[in-house]
Amino acid sequence: MDLAIEVKDLSYSYPDGFLALDRVSLKVILNERVAILGPNGAGKSTLLMLISGLLKPSKGSIHILGRPIDENIHKIRSEIGIVFQDPDDQLFCPTLWEDVTFGPLNMGLSEDEVVKRGKEALRMVGLDGYEERAPHHLSAGEKKKAAIATVLVMKPKILILDEPTANLDPKGKKELVKIIDNLHKNQKITLIIATHDMDFIPLIADRAYILNKRIIAEGNLEDIFSDSDMMMKAGLDLPTVTRLFEFINEFMGSDKVKPIPLTIEQALQEIKRLLKNPQ
């Protein structure tokens, strides 16, 4: 079990003294899909920026792929890609192609390699043919995909996504799930996704940390979502389907449906089963 990320007792205060993270510890194994869940202002973005070495921790340590982050910061930046919440922060060149080639050119790759990777990254997010487009003329969904491409092009081993579904329409979300799925299955990328879009989580993660300045809970999605009181206290909720099946369980006498389904597909199986033998 190789650790992709190991965070120990990490604290972070803003320059004005406001404590954003309080003794946070977490571990992510290679090729794992981990969600970081928390309400607004829980410190999700701050944690992600610390992990990608963009902020310096006040206390505690971060190891990426077994190496401490502060010593190897430039090497690590090419191995860990972060997609910001607002794609407008990430696309800062006049054309999409320049944005996509920005990272690999900074890595000092050869021109052929940069072109090859650039085309490949755009194809992976379904934006081939968009090379000469100006970022400010793209739609929100296209901007998000473009932002992902600008990071994928560096072939990171770890991909960090900060609120990837923010501002996306249903079609955009579906495409995003597909892209993330492909990255995890075919490229073997380790994924860390911060979100509070509860219906989206079961589609893209296996394990989750609940964060609200501190780590409140950690575990597989089934375990985390079975503790609905804890989720509510943390300012979160269950996926819609899970919430529904909680009511069904209550209505039919406890624990009729176990494990509680998290996605619509799982729910469908469960409903079929219940219909076939009601007892």
Partner 1 sequence: MISNFLNLFEDIFFNEKYSSLNFIIQKIDPRVKIFSSIALISIAILAKSILTLIILTSIIFILSIVSRIPLKIFLIRTSLIPLFTTLIALPLIFITPGNQILNLNFINITTEGVHKALIFILRVWTCVNSLILLTLTTKFSNIINAMEKLKIPKIFTVMISITYRFIFLSINEAYRMLLAKESRTFKKESRLKEIKTLASMLSTLFIRSYERGERVYLAMMARGYNGSVNNLEKMSINRRDVVFILIVLFICIIALSSEYFLGVS
Q: Is 30 in the site for partner 1 (CB under 8 A)?
A: no
Site string for partner 1, 140-159 (x = CB under 8 A): ----------xx--x-----
Locus of tokens 């076939």 = 276
Structure tokens, 6: 């190991």
AA identity, residue 194: A
Q: Is 240 in the site for partner 1 (CB under 8 A)?
A: no
Q: Is 67 in the site for partner 1 (CB under 8 A)?
A: no
Can you tell me the distance from the alpha carbon of 94 to that of 167, in angstroms, rounded to the nearest whole number? 23
Which stretch, 83-91, 199-207, 217-225, 229-237, contacts partner 1 (CB under 8 A)? Answer: 83-91
Q: Is 244 in the site for partner 1 (CB under 8 A)?
A: no
Q: Is 134 in the site for partner 1 (CB under 8 A)?
A: yes
Q: Is 46 in the site for partner 1 (CB under 8 A)?
A: no
Tell me the residue ranges of DSSP E strands in 14-89: 19-29, 33-37, 59-64, 67-68, 80-83
Cα–chain center distance at 255: 31
Locus of tokens 């079609």 = 171
Angle at alpha carbon of residue 50, lines to 190 and 213, rounded to 5°:
100
Please report, as residue ranges, which positions from 103 to 122 form the binding site for partner 1 (by CB under 8 A): 103, 105-107, 111, 114-115
Binding site residues, partner 1, CB under 8 A? 49, 52, 54, 74, 77-78, 81-82, 84, 86, 88-95, 97-98, 101-103, 105-107, 111, 114-115, 134-136, 150-151, 154
